[in-house]
Structure 1
Amino acid sequence: MKPFHILLTLLLSTQITNAAGKNREAVPRLPADLKIVDNIVFKQVGEKKLELMLFQPLAKKHDKSPLVVYIHGGGWGGGDRYKVLRPDVIGVIRSLNQEGFTCASIEYRLVDGKPTLASDAVADCKDALRFLMKHAPEHGIDTERIGTFGSSAGGHLTLVTALGKDSDYPCDPTIEGPAARVRCVAAFYPLVSFVDAECMKGGNFERPQRMIPLLGGLLVEKRELALKLSPIELLRADSPDILVAHGDADKVLSVHNATALRDAAQAKGVPIECIISKGAGHGFSGDAISPTIAEIDRQTTAFFVKHLVPPAAR
């Protein structure tokens, strides 16, 4: 483990505030050097409350701060907003906060097919963006400078959130706020298609039954929904700029996902940056990967700054 990440694991608690500004008990595993507001409920489905946490800018560099929203991984059926503390993710959040960005880490309903599908998870992500648009003034957020960021299943969801039309997903009509215009999107080791068999080779997505909890049935039965959940199929000439990063030794989601997205985006005229880390497995695991996690984080931060900060303000 790199010294930076050893240091990071030592910064494991902080006194945080809830959305009302009141102190609450220290929460383990939250970096003490970041300004965090946690437990903000943005949506409720039945008894299930969906929450997000905000990472506020460490220095005021903009009248209104750009916003980057992180979407966690976990196979669509696991994980929570605290996945943002992964070593390959929190470095990006920290760097963006130092650049004057606001960042958010959001939750979504975990997919089980009974009845929650991947399309419901997308709707929750889009609803979180609309909630943040509505509450932008109180958090000093610039609603014209929005990016999304995700890893693994969250990499897939961040792409669909940025590329898909809100009307194609079961968003909550009671959540007020304008739809967010996403200017750029970064995805780490994502799945980019539910219909391209090559993207699913090398993992349990080769099993047809793996689609049932995600789509509510087999691919042959749910192809229309699968197309709406396939980032490659959602690309248009006016799609936001994309960064995709993947390891060439990934045994969970093949690196073909990154190269297929790159090729499809280039064919549509969509600007895309593609980072392939040699020797890296899923989550950029590996002892001697190149580029390293720190290098990938630097490129990702630079990508968001390039697209969300006017040249005169950099």
Structure 2
Amino acid sequence: MMKTLKILLLVLVTGSIGYAQTPKWDGQSFRDVPYKQVGQRKLLMDIYMPETQVSEKAPVIYYVHGGGWAAGNKEKFGQPLMLPMFRQLSKNGFVCVSISYRLCKKGQGVLMRDCVTDAMDGLRFLKQNSEQYSIDPDRIVVFGDSAGGQLAQMLTYASPENFVGDPKLAEIDVQPRAGISWYGPSDFTDVNLFKTTFSDKNPNRFGSRITGDDNGYKKNPKAFEEMSSYYWIKKDSPPMLVLQGDTDATIPLPHAIHLKEKADRIGADVEMIIVKNAGHNWRKAGGDPVPGVEEIQRISAEYALQKVTPLKQQD
């Protein structure tokens, strides 16, 4: 009975189990906009217009939520961990977009590449409808946390033509200006990257979400490469900011280092910030995180702003 009461209280307070209610927004907003349909299901996004309009065509921060590719929704936009960053960008003229995508739930036949394809189609939809929402489609920064961090990396690095979904959107070419990844995994082919002394979690626990088979790597290693941003990054890839906690037991620090080392080796633009004393979701682990959450939000927002600022204003 007590457990049931706690769950009901959580739902009343947050609007959903574990996720914040859609936030109050000072600017105009378009909620539950369908960006594609898969079978009978419509996939939705929320579009939050700038609180301060600074130009006719606005840059975009495009948020892809975390949740292990199996949980979560676009309402995560409203969590205290995320919302201050979006508000800061909105005040600087950004359109803020948050999407939901298909999830890798057992028995539904959805794989991780479907999540990538949906996120790609969301970008295509925005470009197709850029006039309606006063968006500059050439100034989009993608951002995600955890599984969403992996999706943000894939949106930044992977070839869109490899992830074609809705045929009505297939011909629309998309290329983000930059990406921001909070504690997102970079390589599924090396199980050692998921091993950590901070946890005894199965390091191969995400394999079934890539192929639908717990032993999928042996049968189809290329599918694991396809979902690994490490194999997509090139010298001329858009820039990426990677933030990672040094004591993260869910997505360990070596993932960020692994990607950064390859970027440095090939001359790609990846900036890495290691957050000390931080676990997943910037939880305290051994002390107060350094930099702290507010500073992480500020750094991320300023990175996005810097990457969409016209060059003539940067000089």
Q: Do these two structures clear the TM 0.5 threshold for a shared fold by scoring above it? A: yes
1:266 aligns with one of 240, 249, 264: 264
- Which residue does the alignment assign to 2:210? 214
Question: What amino acid does structure 1 have at the position aligned with 2:63?
Answer: Y
Residue correspondence of structure 1 range 1-150 to structure 2 within 5 A? 28-112=21-105, 114-150=108-144
Residue 88 of structure 1, CA deviation: 2.5
1:28 and 1:151, CA in 2 relative to 1: closer, same or farther beyond 3 A?
Answer: closer
| Partner-residue secondary structure (3-state), 1:92 | helix
Deviation at 1:198, TM superposition (A): 2.8
2:179 maps to 185
Q: Secondary structure at the match of 1:244?
A: strand
Q: Secondary structure at the match of 1:257?
A: helix
1:214 offset after TM fit, Å? 2.6
C-alpha RMSD of matched pairs (Å) = 2.2
Runs of 4+ aligned residues of structure 1 deviating over 6 Å after TM superposition are none
What does residue range 165-184 of structure 1 map to in structure 2 within 5 Å?
Answer: 165-175=159-169, 178-184=172-178
Alignment partner, residue 21 of structure 1? none
> Which secondary structure state, in structure 2, belongs to the residue aligned with residue 87 of structure 1?
coil
Partner residue, 1:303: 303
| Residue 280 of structure 1, aligned match among 270, 278, 281 | 278
Unaligned runs of 5+ in 2: 1-12
Conservation of the 8 A alpha-carbon contact between 1:112 and 1:214? no
| Distance (Å, rounded) in 1 between the aligned partners of 2:306 and 2:220 | 38
Q: Describe the superposition over 1:116-167 as per-residue Cα deviations: whole angstroms up to 9, x where unpaired.
A: 1001110000000000001100111011111100000000011112211122
Select the residue among 154, 160, 164 that pairs with 1:160: 154
Tell me, yes or no, if the aligned pair for 1:146 and 1:180 is still in contact at 8 Å.
no
In 2: Cα distance, 1:204 partner to 1:71 partner: 28
**Residues 139 and 308 in structure 2, CA contact (< 8 A), matched pair in contact too:** yes
1:244-287 Cα shifts (integer Å, max 9, x gaps): 00111111110111111111111121111111111011000116
- Say if 1:204 and 1:131 are closer, same or farther in 2 by CA, change over 3 A: farther
Structure 1 length as normaliser, TM-score? 0.87
Q: Distance in 1 between matches of 2:193 and 2:163?
A: 23
Instruction: Say which SS state the counterpart of residue 112 (structure 1) adopts.
Output: coil
Q: Measured at CA, do residues 229 and 181 of structure 1 come closer, stay the same or move farther in structure 2, by a change above 3 Å?
A: same
Q: Distance in 2 between matches of 1:156 and 1:278?
A: 21
Check the 8 A contact 2:235/2:269 in 1, yes or no.
Answer: no
- 1:64 Cα shift? 0.7
The 1:167/1:312 distance shift into structure 2, 3 A limit, reads closer
| Residue range with higher mean Cα deviation, 233-242 or 285-294 | 285-294
- 1:204/1:210 contact within 8 Å kept: no
1:205–1:211 CA contact under 8 A, matched in 2: no
Is structure 2 residue 234 aligned with structure 1 residue 236?
A: yes
Inter-CA distance 28–195: structure 2 relative to 1 (3 Å threshold): closer
2:162 counterpart letter in structure 1: D
| Alignment partners' CA distance in 1, 2:124 and 2:275 | 34
How far off its partner does 1:208 sit? 3.9
Distance 1:204 1:82 in 2: 30
Q: What are the equivalent positions in structure 2 for 1:283-294 lying under 5 Å apart?
A: 283-286=281-284, 288-294=288-294
- The number of equivalent residue pairs is 291
Q: What CA deviation, in whole Å up to 9, does each residue of 1:6-34 have, x standing for no partner?
A: xxxxx989xxxxxxxxxxxxx94413445
Structure 1 contact 168–228 (Cα < 8 Å) conserved: no
Q: Distance in 1 between matches of 2:249 and 2:194?
A: 10
Contact 1:36 1:53 in 2 (8 A): yes
SS of the residue corresponding to residue 178 of structure 2 reads: strand
- Supply the distance in 2 between the matched residues of 1:130 and 1:119 (Cα, whole angstroms): 16
Identify the residue that residue 253 of structure 1 maps to in structure 2: 251
Change over 3 Å in CA distance of 1:170–1:181 after alignment to 2: closer
SS of 1:70's equivalent?
A: strand
Q: Residue type of the partner of 1:256?
A: P
Aligned-partner residue type, residue 221 of structure 1: K
Q: Is the 8 A contact 1:119 1:170 kept in 2?
A: no
TM-score in terms of structure 2 length: 0.86
Deviation at 1:212, TM superposition (A): 1.4
% identical aligned pairs: 28
2: CA distance between counterparts of 1:154 and 1:61?
28
Q: CA deviation at 1:176?
A: 6.1
